[in-house]
Structure 1
Amino acid sequence: MGYIWAIIIVYMLSMVGIGIYAGRKQVKGAEDYLLAGRRLGPIMFAGTLAATEIGGGSTIGVAAKAYGNWGLSAGWYVITAGISILLVSFIAPYLRRAMATTVSEIIGRRFGKNAYLISSILSVVSLVTLGGVQITATATILSVLLVTDLNLAILVSGAIVTFYTMVGGMWSVTLTDFVQFFFIMFGFAFAIPFALDSVGGWSYVVANLPPEQLSFTKVGWQTIVGLTVMYYMTFSTGQEAVQRYFSAKDEKTAVVGSVMCGFLMVLYSFVPAILGLIALVTFPNINANNALATVAVELTPPWVAGIVLAAVMSATLSSASGDFLGAATVFTKDIWQQYFNSKLSDKEIMKITRLTVLISGIIGIGLSLMSQTIIPMLVFAFTMRSAGPFAAFILGLIWERATKNAGLASIIVGSVVGAYWQYLKEPYGIMAIIAGSLAGSVAFAVTTWIEQNMGRPPAPPAISEDIKRKYTKENKIWD
């Protein structure tokens, strides 16, 4: 256990140190703090995007699902995420070209202040919830190591991620994500051969599992398709993901980095599922959320266990930091600056954003203490932030003839339908986020058609001529 703790402590101190370094050396102004100066290259971009999206659900959650009803097919939870990132690559040029800071900002440019405010509030609420989920996931690891109450582990995990995010902003998040990405990819790769060797090999695992647990499609094609659609909707509208696209140095970087991230996620996908199956065979009566940590501690050498558990914490902390920074960015730029003080200086923007990161972290810790589930809370947050704004954001970027009230109508209809569908426990097996997003898209199209027939002009473009000139001046156009 001493080796494990040594690796974990060194890792945690390194994350704090990187946060302090980024805050002092890299952050010169608000754009550095919020968007890493829009200077991320493809490798840094792919690393931070992958580390952000491979979080508690993609590690502890997948292992728990494999331990439970999904078996090996739990890997589809990550494969579908990788496929969705590849699909987002097609709109990546629009995202980078917009020269925006937040998703809500683009919605506000086209559809006015009401749509702006509602989408901003939905984004903040969902991001803080997502951050709380990742704290829960990190705490499950610490609780196993400490053999202590989960609540104490939640407090420690939340304090660490809130601190380094608050200090360094996007540069801190990007640099820590880059380190964490390598922990995630290589840490898990170490675990499988050692764990299998401890239990007698893969043949022993197969012989002691029901055949259906080894099916690649046990989860069902309806769920696989549903997850792909859900992830595309949430990644293309989620501030923690889109903020990375805004931070890319140009359009080509956004596309190339996005494609790299998608393929890396697919390569990683079944690793935590295999570890979950090993746990099911060896420790059939443990809490499913502890499957990954238990395998690491009990079945691998201490130095491997330390790397694996650091990798899990890397995945969860990197996601939490992106969520809290995203929430703070939206609050500062889209709520405080728009409705309370439009003349904020760079120094004031950074001060308010840091304070909001702190408040978001505290609220996230509170949510984690109240609800210690992982994947259900993830799905709830995804629905909250995407069911309504999806059509307004995506169609607002690419549909030039869209009218002003179409965005507001789609946000309201999509959010209401998504929330009601979740309240009904997702009838017909259709996810709430999909039902809400489809309803919002229909509302968007119908409203545009009605207003066009009434002779109303299109809404102003999300990417105005002034923005195009600014982008051209930076010499970052990719033809």
Structure 2
Amino acid sequence: MNSLIDTAVIFIFSAFVLGIGMLFARTGRNLKSFFAGGEAVPWFIGGLSLFMSFFSAGTFVAWGSIAYKHGWVAVTIQWTMCIGAIVTGLFLSPRWRATGNLTAAEFIRERLGERVQKTYIGIFTLVSVFIKGSVLYPVAKLVSVSLGFPLIESTIVLGVFMIAYTAVGGLWAVMVTDILQFVILTAAVFILLPLSLNKVGGFESFTQQVPDDFFNLLHGEYTFGFVMAFVFYHIAYIGGNWTFVQRYTSVDSPKSARKVAFLFAALYFISPMIWMLPPMIYRALNPSLEGLDTENAYLMICKAVLPPGLLGLMLTGMYFSTSASANTTLNVVSAVFTNDIYKGFINPQASDEQLIKVARRSSWGFGLGMIVIALLVPAAGGIVEVVLSISAISGGPLLAPPLWAKVFLSS
């Protein structure tokens, strides 16, 4: 796709998003405004931002591969996120807002003590930097391969872009740019879907060219037990993940926090049915993909039907989805460091001006750490698997204490 038009589209949209983020440089007067939007973020912005925080370029690779190979079950699995969000909205998100805490780490200190807090700050920071550093690599590789740019330079430029508006504008910059990213990605998919159906000869022709069990709710290894395990995982993940808790605490009331979770649930009920159809359609166009090649199904259908310019728009959406996930984590890691380590232990008497400086510098520090991790992925080879293993081992223990304290120790 080495097209000047696609390259121009990516640069123009990237510059536009960066410019919007920079407009919020003066909104961070104190920690509440920088990391919690002054507790005045509209619930629909919080919900859309939460939705975008779930995405990365890997989403299109992993779920696209399942959709290509097994069909509708990819939608079924993603509906577990909808169920998790409904449970969170009913029981957890309003209670998070009612705590009045800036971060989940602050809540852990109040309920479980400083020793537990320090342990979980360390785990959270390490896991977050490694995981988000690793997801920066595939999107940099995607841009590098598609546009013919060197991989190392692509990784650094994309990483610095991600850090810049997060460090300067804080949570407001993250959330508003999340909305722009949502619009770009949604527009790209809504253009891709009818073009894909037209390529295959219409919906009826599509259904006739795929296996008979392609639209089954469950398929193969993705059994009812697997889906139920994902339901319980996403209840804990959406209800207790520190980056998502920030979305519930940044709105104005427990009622708004409930709406944040419910909007996320509604979006995750509708969007998988739309976003998973293109790789499913590609199964009808080219049923010969096997092994790891199935992970390229989404990109291949894009290349097959999108003209120059629109392909760049889709790549921009994929990058921005990764950026939304990574900069959300970056903002929360910086919040935990500034509020719970620097202010909590190093300099309790720090002024607002000092804290904002620490917040911005720590954003750059952790962001550069993510870039380093991304650059090490090719050399380390198995670092992605290692990171996923760390996440699997630490995910439960990391999410359990705040949820346990929230449900059973709340007074």
Question: Under a length normalisation based on structure 2, what TM-score does the superposition of the two structures give?
Answer: 0.88
- Look up the equivalent residue of 1:229 and give its one-letter code: F
Q: 2:239 and 2:40 mapped to 1: Cα distance?
A: 21
Alignment of 1:107-186 (within 5 A): 107-186=108-187
Q: Could you say if the C-alpha distance between residues 86 and 371 of structure 1 is closer, same or farther in structure 2, counting changes exceeding 3 Å?
A: farther
Compute the displacement of 1:122 (Å). 1.4
Compute the displacement of 1:334 (Å). 2.1
Counterpart residue number, 1:312:
318
Counterpart residue number, 2:224:
221
Alignment of 1:349-360 (within 5 A): 349-360=355-366
Compute the displacement of 1:58 (Å). 3.3
Compute the displacement of 1:30 (Å). 2.1
Q: 1:279 and 1:376 mapped to 2: Cα distance?
A: 28
Compute the displacement of 1:160 (Å). 1.2
Structure number with bigger Rg: 1
Q: Which runs of 5+ in 1 are unaligned?
A: 401-460, 464-479
Q: Could you say if the C-alpha distance between residues 148 and 209 of structure 1 is closer, same or farther in structure 2, counting changes exceeding 3 Å?
A: farther
Q: Could you say if the C-alpha distance between residues 279 and 148 of structure 1 is closer, same or farther in structure 2, counting changes exceeding 3 Å?
A: farther
Among 5, 10, 20, the alignment partner of 2:22 is 20
Compute the displacement of 1:106 (Å). 0.8
Query: Is the counterpart of residue 369 in structure 1 residue 370 in structure 2?
Result: no
Q: 1:243 and 1:78 mapped to 2: Cα distance?
A: 22
Query: Is the counterpart of residue 326 in structure 1 residue 358 in structure 2?
Result: no
Counterpart residue number, 1:11:
13
Q: CA RMSD in A?
A: 2.6
Counterpart residue number, 2:82:
82
Tell me, yes or no, if the aligned pair for 2:236 and 2:400 is still in contact at 8 Å: no
Tell me, yes or no, if the aligned pair for 2:100 and 2:249 is still in contact at 8 Å: yes
- Look up the equivalent residue of 1:313 and give its one-letter code: Y
Compute the displacement of 1:22 (Å). 0.9
1:443-475 deviation line (CA, Å, top 9, x unaligned): xxxxxxxxxxxxxxxxxx6x7xxxxxxxxxxxx
Q: 1:227 and 1:377 mapped to 2: Cα distance?
A: 21
Tell me, yes or no, if the aligned pair for 1:107 and 1:115 is still in contact at 8 Å: yes
Alignment of 1:341-356 (within 5 A): 341-356=347-362
Alignment of 1:419-430 (within 5 A): none
Q: 2:81 and 2:68 mapped to 1: Cα distance?
A: 20
Counterpart residue number, 1:73:
73
The SS at the match of 1:322 is helix
Compute the displacement of 1:131 (Å). 1.8
- Look up the equivalent residue of 2:406 and give its one-letter code: L
1:116-149 deviation line (CA, Å, top 9, x unaligned): 1111111112222332243134324313431345
Query: Is the counterpart of residue 197 in structure 1 residue 193 in structure 2?
Result: no
Among 240, 244, 251, the alignment partner of 1:248 is 251
Q: 1:16 and 1:386 mapped to 2: Cα distance?
A: 32
Q: 2:393 and 2:358 mapped to 1: Cα distance?
A: 24
Q: 2:391 and 2:333 mapped to 1: Cα distance?
A: 14
Counterpart residue number, 1:339:
345
Tell me, yes or no, if the aligned pair for 1:47 and 1:178 is still in contact at 8 Å: yes
Q: Could you say if the C-alpha distance between residues 370 and 361 of structure 1 is closer, same or farther in structure 2, counting changes exceeding 3 Å?
A: same
Q: Could you say if the C-alpha distance between residues 349 and 229 of structure 1 is closer, same or farther in structure 2, counting changes exceeding 3 Å?
A: same
1:412-431 deviation line (CA, Å, top 9, x unaligned): xxxxxxxxxxxxxxxxxxxx
Q: 1:268 and 1:228 mapped to 2: Cα distance?
A: 18
The SS at the match of 2:72 is helix
Query: Is the counterpart of residue 266 in structure 1 residue 265 in structure 2?
Result: no
- Look up the equivalent residue of 1:45 and give its one-letter code: G
Q: 2:207 and 2:268 mapped to 1: Cα distance?
A: 25
Q: 1:196 and 1:374 mapped to 2: Cα distance?
A: 38
Compute the displacement of 1:204 (Å). 4.7
Tell me, yes or no, if the aligned pair for 2:29 and 2:356 is still in contact at 8 Å: no
The SS at the match of 1:365 is helix
Counterpart residue number, 2:407:
398
Compute the displacement of 1:207 (Å). 4.5
Compute the displacement of 1:81 (Å). 1.6
Q: 1:77 and 1:199 mapped to 2: Cα distance?
A: 25
Q: 2:9 and 2:387 mapped to 1: Cα distance?
A: 29
Q: Could you say if the C-alpha distance between residues 375 and 213 of structure 1 is closer, same or farther in structure 2, counting changes exceeding 3 Å?
A: farther
Q: 1:80 and 1:374 mapped to 2: Cα distance?
A: 28
Query: Is the counterpart of residue 46 in structure 1 residue 47 in structure 2?
Result: yes
Counterpart residue number, 1:302:
308
The SS at the match of 2:319 is helix
Q: 1:234 and 1:217 mapped to 2: Cα distance?
A: 23
Q: 1:185 and 1:226 mapped to 2: Cα distance?
A: 29
Q: 1:118 and 1:105 mapped to 2: Cα distance?
A: 13
Q: 1:354 and 1:309 mapped to 2: Cα distance?
A: 29
1:169-221 deviation line (CA, Å, top 9, x unaligned): 10110110111122233321221111222243344544544444443311222
Compute the displacement of 1:40 (Å). 0.8
Compute the displacement of 1:35 (Å). 0.8
Higher mean C-alpha deviation, range 269-278 or range 201-210: 201-210
Q: 1:134 and 1:163 mapped to 2: Cα distance?
A: 18
Tell me, yes or no, if the aligned pair for 2:82 and 2:269 is still in contact at 8 Å: yes
The SS at the match of 1:387 is helix
Q: Could you say if the C-alpha distance between residues 140 and 290 of structure 1 is closer, same or farther in structure 2, counting changes exceeding 3 Å?
A: farther
Tell me, yes or no, if the aligned pair for 2:130 and 2:373 is still in contact at 8 Å: yes
Q: Could you say if the C-alpha distance between residues 4 and 216 of structure 1 is closer, same or farther in structure 2, counting changes exceeding 3 Å?
A: farther
Query: Is the counterpart of residue 276 in structure 1 residue 279 in structure 2?
Result: yes
Counterpart residue number, 1:470:
none
Q: 1:381 and 1:350 mapped to 2: Cα distance?
A: 31
Q: Could you say if the C-alpha distance between residues 293 and 221 of structure 1 is closer, same or farther in structure 2, counting changes exceeding 3 Å?
A: same
Q: 1:208 and 1:371 mapped to 2: Cα distance?
A: 38
Tell me, yes or no, if the aligned pair for 2:124 and 2:398 is still in contact at 8 Å: no
The SS at the match of 2:276 is helix
Tell me, yes or no, if the aligned pair for 2:43 and 2:256 is still in contact at 8 Å: yes
1:303-334 deviation line (CA, Å, top 9, x unaligned): 43233222222211111110111111112222
Q: 1:393 and 1:126 mapped to 2: Cα distance?
A: 17
- Look up the equivalent residue of 1:82 and give its one-letter code: C
- Look up the equivalent residue of 2:371 and give its one-letter code: I
Tell me, yes or no, if the aligned pair for 2:18 and 2:165 is still in contact at 8 Å: yes
Q: Could you say if the C-alpha distance between residues 138 and 385 of structure 1 is closer, same or farther in structure 2, counting changes exceeding 3 Å?
A: same
Higher mean C-alpha deviation, range 177-186 or range 44-53: 177-186
Counterpart residue number, 2:61:
60
Q: 2:394 and 2:263 mapped to 1: Cα distance?
A: 25
